[in-house]
Amino acid sequence: MKISFLQRLLDLTNPRACAICGQRLAVEETLLQDFGDETQFTATSISDEKKGESVVLLVKSTLDLSEIKARIKASSLAPIMQPSEVLLVEEIPLLGSGKVDFKGAKQLAQKLLTQAV
């Protein structure tokens, strides 16, 4: 079974970013076991009035949104670490090198959430 996991390097110079990245990476690592090769995902953070920042999961999958959310809820992921939003996307933003474009992922998440309101 092939699992697609898109990961980023931590910015160790910013303690706040590390905490958020640490949560983001834990989310991705924990969800790896619950999704097969039909799913690619990456997490990003967005501003949240109540929490400061929230984790949003961008998912490219053949599964429907309700199935994805059910797997996340049934996973071993602690409730506090579960993404605030799960968004289905046609493509995960990538750089020319094939690595995840995290700036593009954040912008896409903000755009999709704005359109949903």
Instruction: Write the pLDDT tens digit of every residue in 63-110.
Output: 899 999 999 899 888 877 788 899 999 999 999 998 889 899 999 999
| Per-position b or e across 81-110, b if 16+ CB within 10 A of its CB | ebbeebbebeebbeeeeeebbbeebbebbe
Q: Which position has the higher pLDDT, 14 or 46?
A: 46
The confidence band for 5, taking pLDDT boundaries of 50, 70 and 90, is: very low
Q: What is the pTM of this model?
A: 0.75
- Tokens found for residue 81: 């670490």
